[in-house]
Structure formats: structure tokens, C-alpha cells
Amino acid sequence: MLAPKETALEACRTGIQKVKRNSVIIFVSAILGGLFIALGFYGYIVASSGFVETNYRILGTFLGAMVFPVGLVLIVITGVDLYTGNCLIFFGWLNKSYHFGAVIKNLVIVFFGNLLGSFVLVLLIYFSGLIETDTIKEFIVNVSVNKTNLTFIQGLTRGILCNIAVVLAVYMSYAAKTVGGKTLAAFYPVFLFVLSGYEHSVANMFILPLGYMIQTGSEITFIGMINNFISVTLGNFIGGALLIPIPYYYLFVKKR
């Protein structure tokens, strides 16, 4: 593996590679990133929903948390883009490798690419007939209702907590030199955030529209989804672009 200082420098180098690409390339890459996170989230739903009506609900959450990281592993190994992980490009800006506008441009393109990729899987799952069982339907709707009922501060703070874990997963994957090492580095922090109940903006791009489409009532509202996206996305940015890159830049990159 790379040493801590080498890992921080690798984060700076990776940031340069990400922001210098063509916008269309970034967008297509982000579509795949959103799709992969959605695949992992649906696996979580299948693993967790079967335990809801039993005395072993925590076991369902545990098993689901073990499945969800597949999405980030796919992203790390195949090299596509994820909004939460790309918050690490703040490293390069801190190192004066590119201007702040390049950071915002990249994150905006990746965000909307992730949104499109997530919605592609929403449509595929919706028309596939895989969610015909009441257990899975109720689970998706209940999770979506809980998310849309969060206050702004709750969504913000859970978003911060989530992306501390996610960017550390991506950051540690920079240190690994093997596929196995990168897989393990990406797995454990994501497992932790899912088990803990934090909020991931790209995962919510999948679950909230899906819950909205299959609900029988009107518990999940469009305004509720937008409020969740805003608070969680902002929290993810604070946790991933500020709370991790700034101290690690100061520790290992800043020239004294």
C-alpha cells in the first residue's frame, strides 16, 4: 500500500485527472456511478426487507449493510464517478492544481449524471415485476417516508456523517495497490455508514423516486424528496469536501 503522505498526493493527482476530462465523458461516467449505487441499494432492500416483520430486524439491517457496498466497490474498481466520492477533488484545489470553479463544475455534472443513472434503475426495477411482493413494497415506501420526514438539520448532519465514511472508503482505496485491497478499503466504511443509518444523496436518488412511484397513498411528496436531496447533498459536501480533505491536506501535503 501507499504510505499516508503518498496517499494524500495520490488524491491530489486523481483530482487533476477527474477535472481535466471532457464534460460528456464525466457525465457518462457519472451515469454508471449512479446506476451502480442503485444496484447496491436494491440488494440492501432485498436482504433487509425479509426481516422486518420478525424479531431479527437488526440481522436484516446487518445483512443489507454487507450487500450495499457492492455499489461503491464497482465504482472504485471500474473507475467511474460518484458525487460523494468526487468530493475528494477538493484536495487538488487546496493544492492549487485547478480553480474552485472546476471543482463545482465537476460535482454538478457528476450529481446530475448520478441522478440519471439512478433513475434508469428505478425504471428497470419498476417495470421488472421484482417488487410485486407486499413485503418489499412496504419496506421501500416506509424507508422513503422516513427519509422525506427528516428535518433539514437531521438530513444535513446524517449527510455529513455518511460522507465522512464514503470519502474515507475512496481515499483508502487510493492507498491499495491490489483489487482485493481496494475492495476491502471500499467495503468497511460503507458497511459502517449503512449500518448506522446515515444519509447518502445518490442512494436517495434511487429509493425516493421508486417509493414515490409505488406508493398507494400520498405519504411521499415531491417537496419532501427535494428537501431531502438539498439537505443531504449539502451535508455530503461538508463531510466529504471539507472535513476530510482539509485536515489530510494540512497533515501530509501542505508545504511548511
| Domain extent listing, the chain | 4-250
What is the predicted pLDDT for the residue at 256? 67
Query: Per residue, what are the HEC states of the chain?
Result: CCCHHHHHHHHHHHHHHHHCCCHHHHHHHHHHHHHHHHHHHHHHHHHHHCCCCCCCHHHHHHHHHHHCCHHHHHHHHHCCCCHHHHHHHHHHHHCCCCCHHHHHHHHHHHHHHHHHHHHHHHHHHHHHCCCCCHHHHHHHHHHHHHHHCCCHHHHHHHHHHHHHHHHHHHHHHHHCCCHHHHHHHHHHHHHHHHHHCCCCHHHHHHHHHHHHHHCCCCCCCHHHHHHHHHHHHHHHHHHHHHCCHHHHHHHHCCCC
Angle, CA 63 vertex, CA 61 and CA 66 arms, to 5°: 110
Query: Measured between alpha carbons, how far is 86 from 100 in angstroms, rounded to an integer?
Result: 14
What is the predicted pLDDT for the residue at 54? 77
What is the predicted pLDDT for the residue at 143? 96
pLDDT tens across the length of the chain (256 residues): 999 999 999 999 999 999 999 999 999 999 999 999 999 999 999 999 988 777 788 899 999 999 999 999 999 999 999 999 999 999 999 999 999 999 999 999 999 999 999 999 999 999 999 998 889 999 999 999 999 999 999 999 999 999 999 999 999 999 999 999 999 999 999 999 999 999 999 999 999 999 999 998 889 999 999 999 999 999 999 999 999 999 999 999 998 6
Q: Which three three-digit cell numbers place residue 33?
A: 456511478
- Whether 162 contacts 199, CB under 8 Å: yes
Q: Which of 80, 117, 82, 122 is nearest to 211 (CA)?
A: 122
Q: Which three three-digit cell numbers place residue 246?
A: 482539509
What is the predicted pLDDT for the residue at 223? 96
Query: Measured between alpha carbons, how far is 181 from 174 in angstroms, rounded to an integer?
Result: 10
Determine the topology of domain 4-250 in CATH.
Answer: Glycerol uptake facilitator protein (1.20.1080)
What is the predicted pLDDT for the residue at 133? 82
Query: Measured between alpha carbons, how far is 84 from 163 in angstroms, rounded to an integer?
Result: 6
What is the predicted pLDDT for the residue at 10? 97
What angle do helix axes 57-67 and 179-196 make, rounded to 10 degrees?
A: 150
Q: Which residue has the cell 493544492?
A: 95
